[in-house]
Chain A
Amino acid sequence: MRDDVEDIEIRLLLEALYQRYHYDFRRYAKASVKRRLKQAREQLGYASYSAMQDALLHDPDMLERLLGYLTVQVSEMFRDPSYFKALRETVLPHLKTYPSLKVWVAGCSEGEELYSLAILFREEGLEDRTIFYATDINPDALQAAARGIYPIDRVKLFTENHRRSGGRSSLSNYYTTGYGGAVFDKSLRERVVFSDHSLVTDAVFGEMHLISCRNVLIYFDRDLQDRAIGLFRDSLARKGFLGLGAKESLRFSAHATAFAEFERDEKIYQKREP
């Protein structure tokens, strides 16, 4: 019985978040949202989700705190090196035939995937003709992505991942140490546009040649996944590429037929001709 009440409270809290601030988590996958909200409730010291809802409605500072719990994702640079290796070896050779390129990192969080792609494109000689769009719904995460500073103790893993992805240079060429972390070179984000964009409520983001959106869709329910994948289909240029996380697939999607498997094991898809 207690859990039923809690479920109602959680639905009302998410409804309040949407009506008051237009952040829409109502169709996020329930199990993970619940886990994150529980963590927020315990750490912020609220007795109930109703009390959190009250605070959220009346105290705008509460929004930032709650978004931190609901959205922030710690990732790795070159997470799943074989994905980046596949991009390097089979996708980028296609992209080399275009005079200018647009790449969208959807749900970029604190930027690990963005910097990985920027380094990859530089190593493969494509950076100069590319504009990267890095989007997220959390303004704090976007700011962290724009700073590009990561804890030094994580860089060993990033370096190993980069090497395994077929990196043609040393990762240490791209950062200096300071501020208690590895500060990635600002030249890597000269061609990056950071932007607030929601896969839940916002519209098409035009004419992309590559969209990389890894381990974001797993947080959505199936209807919302379909919305996002439809958005990707409509945002891709002719024969554009879509890269998903290692355990995500279009298999259960209503838009599965709009894409062909390009690198099946790496979950890289290519938009079919209409």
Chain B
Amino acid sequence: MTGNPIAIREDIRAVVIGTSAGAVQALSAILPPLPADYPLPVMIVVHVPPDRRNALTELFQTRCAMAVREAEDKEPIAPGVIYFAPPDYHLLVESPAFLSLSTDEPVLHSRPSIDVLFESAADAFGEALVGVILTGANQDGAEGLRAVGEAGGLAVVENPVGAAASAMPEAALAAWPEARVMTLEEIGAYLRNLGNKR
């Protein structure tokens, strides 16, 4: 798993990221270095309380070169944009062209749920997807990462040893042992390179 340098796959068309406890710090290491003209869309679920205001969007708008938005229902998916799931809604990839939202039951007590985003994204993008599980305190995302891997996409997990909270990356690795284990720095560099190669 670790060790081998990871080949940059040029067929990748989208990135999905899931994280909970420790999310702000982890995302702050990864997202701000991505350039404004990053050629891929990035969809992110962070477990947040079901409050109406998405503080994450505002925070990362000030820190990132890429455009940062809270996803709207049936919003077209555009490269160079970071989409956060709104609090209290699931974020789904409807097709490679559109996002959608739902108020279906929470999954593992979470709405938005990482599994819901990852499974729908795997369905829409198949092998052209990178799924990244970062620090977090529950099992959400494990099934989703398995779906990404089974569809032929690239599964990446933050090294649980260095993660602020290890439960989420550990569960993801247990569900999909083939996942690449990387430090935050390596994940950041990998995502940047993914953008340079096209």
A252 in contact (CB, < 8 A)? yes
8 Å CB contact of A252 from B74, B116, B119: B74
Contact B95 A30 (CB under 8 A): yes
8 Å CB contact of B104 from A35, A248, A251: A35
A222 in contact (CB, < 8 A)? yes
What's the dominant secondary structure at chain B's contact region?
Answer: mixed
Inter-chain CA distance A231–B184, complex, in Å, is: 50
CB distance from B25 to the nearest CB of A (A): 27
CB distance from B65 to the nearest CB of A (A): 25
B86 in contact (CB, < 8 A)? yes
Segment at the B interface, from A74-82, A176-184, A186-194: A74-82
A32 / chain B contacts, CB cutoff of 8 Å: 92, 100, 102, 104
Residue with the greatest number of chain B CB neighbours at <10 A, chosen from A31, A218, A219, A222: A31
Q: A30-B95, A35-B119, A225-B74 are in contact. Are A247 and B104 (CB under 8 A)?
A: no
Contact A31 B124 (CB under 8 A): yes
8 Å CB contact of A218 from B103, B120, B124, B151: B103
Contact A73 B95 (CB under 8 A): no
Give chain A interface residues in 56-86, CB to chain B under 8 Å: 73-75, 80, 82
Inter-chain CA distance A31–B95, complex, in Å, is: 8
Inter-chain CA distance A215–B102, complex, in Å, is: 7
A36 in contact (CB, < 8 A)? yes
8 Å CB contact of B123 from A34, A36, A215, A219: A34
Size of the chain A interface, CB-CB below 8 angstroms: 27
Contact A82 B52 (CB under 8 A): yes
CB distance from A217 to the nearest CB of B (A): 8
Contact A247 B74 (CB under 8 A): no
A153 in contact (CB, < 8 A)? no
Inter-chain CA distance A212–B143, complex, in Å, is: 36
* Size band of the interface chain B makes with A: 20 to 34
Inter-chain CA distance A228–B167, complex, in Å, is: 44
Q: A74-B105, A247-B86 are in contact. Are A31 and B72 (CB under 8 A)?
A: no
B102 / chain A contacts, CB cutoff of 8 Å: 29, 31-32, 35, 218-219
A249 in contact (CB, < 8 A)? yes
Inter-chain CA distance A5–B7, complex, in Å, is: 31
B93 in contact (CB, < 8 A)? yes
Q: A82-B52, A218-B73 are in contact. Are A31 and B93 (CB under 8 A)?
A: yes
A202 in contact (CB, < 8 A)? no
Inter-chain CA distance A82–B86, complex, in Å, is: 16
Contact A31 B73 (CB under 8 A): no
Give chain B interface residues in 107-162, CB to chain A under 8 Å: 116, 119-120, 123-124, 126, 151
Inter-chain CA distance A190–B184, complex, in Å, is: 60
B89 in contact (CB, < 8 A)? yes
CB distance from B109 to the nearest CB of A (A): 14
A245 / chain B contacts, CB cutoff of 8 Å: 103
Closest to B73 in A: A218
Q: A31-B93, A222-B74, A225-B74 are in contact. Are A3 and B100 (CB under 8 A)?
A: no
1/0 contact string of B66-102 vs chain A (CB within 8 Å): 0000001111000000000010010011110010111
Inter-chain CA distance A32–B111, complex, in Å, is: 14
Other A-B contacts than A31-B100, A221-B74, 12 sampled, CB-CB below 8 A, are A29-B74, A29-B102, A30-B95, A31-B102, A34-B123, A35-B119, A217-B73, A246-B86, A247-B73, A249-B73, A251-B72, A252-B75
7 contacts between A and B (CB under 8 A): A29-B100, A32-B102, A35-B116, A35-B120, A221-B94, A222-B74, A249-B72
B residues touching A (Cβ–Cβ < 8 Å)? 52, 72-75, 86, 89, 92-95, 98, 100-105, 116, 119-120, 123-124, 126, 151
- 10 nearest interchain CB pairs? A31-B92, A31-B120, A215-B103, A218-B73, A32-B102, A29-B100, A31-B94, A218-B101, A247-B86, A247-B101
